[in-house]
Structure formats: structure tokens, C-alpha cells
Chain A
Amino acid sequence: MQVSVQAEPFDLGALSNAFAAKVAGAGAVVTFTGLVRDNGGALAAMEIEHYPGMTEKAIAGMMHEAKARWSLVDALVVHRYGRLAGGEPIMMVATAARHRANAFAAAEFLMDYLKSRAPFWKKELSADGAEWVAARDEDEAALKRW
């Protein structure tokens, strides 16, 4: 399992191919990628702050739980921080399992937990100024289904 918290852009295709190439025994690979929404062109940039040290630990903890619950063969999480433009990939999750139901469920679980339990904070910059993105009640509620 691999966690990368990085400022640099990542190559979704290359990472997905490399991930899928080393998951012996898996019959399903699911990948999810999150992009910066540009809010209809209003967004100038997004700044993502994180808590170095805790971020990696928190994500590794989620991945261990996902691996145990859905018998994952492997999992990968990449999450960026720093200044991003609209449309840029922010993060990706990849899961590999024997069957697709487990790979999908584990990917959704990881996404839900990354939203509300990984120490990242987003700030949207626009012509009107800068504003921290507020956490949404729906995102917190989404954790309850797990």
C-alpha cells in the first residue's frame, strides 16, 4: 500500500497502469480521481493546506482498515497540497480486490474518510477574495454508512 502527499501534479494514467501491473491475484481495479471544480470560471485557484505527519498517518490508518474490511490486494492514495488551478487533479484513490464490489466499496470508503478525516483544508481564491471551504454536513453523515 502506498500513500503520497505531494505538491507536484501526478500522472493518473501512469500511476493507474503501474498499480494495476503489480496486483497479482486481483480481478478488479477501481480508480477515482478528484478534480478542482472551477465554479463556472469564477475560481482563480485553490490552495490546499495539510498537517505534515498526521496526514500520512491518518491516510495509512484508513487504508489498513479498508484492506482488512474488503480483503484488498493493494491500495494507493495520492493527495496534493499547495496551489492548484481549476480542472487540475487534486487526488486519486486506487483499490484492487478479487471482485469489483469490494474494490468499489473500499474506494468509496476511502473517499468518504479522506473528505472528513484526513487533515486537509481547502481555500478557494476568486476575484471576490479568498474563502475557506466549509465542511459539509453530508460529508460527515456519509461516514455513518461505514
Chain B
Amino acid sequence: MIDVLYFAWVRERIGVPRERIETQAATVMELITELKAREERYEWAFGDLASLRVAVDQELSGFEASLSGVRELAFFPPMTGG
């Protein structure tokens, strides 16, 4: 089980700020592919990878990152701080 968090318009498209997901996916990309196949709202949120960022255990990561031992994932758009 992985805690998956969503922020900004990714959260709005998925409809919840966080959820626990049961998956056998080995990488972030595999999980994205799996979720997109599950429900349309994931397709809507993850359709354009160029405008999607991921943090693995609160560290900004690439989509190829392994999910082995990971407790928390977060998906969000490019950040707009400052």
C-alpha cells in the first residue's frame, strides 16, 4: 500500500487530496499506466506527463523511479512558489 497525494489541478481532476493505493507496479510510470487504465479521471489528470511532476517520499523524482519500499507518492503540476 502506498499513500498517494495530489495537489493543485491534479487533485481537482482526481477528486480527492489523497488515497491509499494497492499496486504491484514497480515504478512510478507503471503505476501511472495502471491508474489511467482503471478510471477516466486518472487519464484526465495524468494525460500530459510534460505538465506533471512526482515526488517520491517527498523528494522530487523522475517517472522511472522505483516504488520499492516507497511509502508516499505525490503528483502535482510544476511548482509556482515565491
B-binding residues in A (CB < 8 A) = 34, 49-51, 53-54, 57-58, 79, 90-91, 111, 114-123, 132-135, 140
Q: How far is the CA of A133 from the CA of B5 in the complex (A)?
A: 20
Interface footprint category on B: 10 to 19
What's the minimum C-beta distance from A146 to chain B, rounded to whole angstroms? Answer: 15
Asked if B81 contacts A116 (CB within 8 A), the reply is yes
9 closest cross-chain pairs (CB), A and B:
A135-B78, A120-B81, A121-B8, A115-B82, A54-B58, A118-B81, A114-B82, A114-B81, A122-B80
Asked if A117 contacts B77 (CB within 8 A), the reply is no
Most buried by A among B5, B7, B8, B79: B79
List 25 contacting pairs A-B, 8 Å CB cutoff, sorted by A: A49-B8, A50-B81, A51-B5, A51-B7, A54-B55, A54-B59, A58-B58, A79-B81, A114-B81, A115-B79, A116-B79, A116-B81, A117-B79, A118-B79, A118-B82, A121-B8, A121-B79, A123-B8, A132-B8, A132-B9, A133-B80, A134-B78, A134-B80, A135-B79, A135-B80
Q: What residues on A are CB-neighbors of B8 within 8 Å?
A: 49, 121, 123, 132
A-binding residues in B (CB < 8 A) = 5, 7-9, 55, 58-60, 74, 76-82
What's the minimum C-beta distance from A145 to chain B, rounded to whole angstroms? Answer: 16
What's the minimum C-beta distance from B44 to chain A, rounded to whole angstroms? Answer: 15
Q: Given the known inter-chain contacts A51-B55, A53-B58, A54-B55, please indicate yes or no for A120 contacting B80, CB distance below 8 A.
A: yes
Q: Which of B7, B9, B60, B76 contacts A117 (CB 8 A)?
A: B60
Q: What residues on A are CB-neighbors of B74 within 8 Å?
A: 51, 54, 119
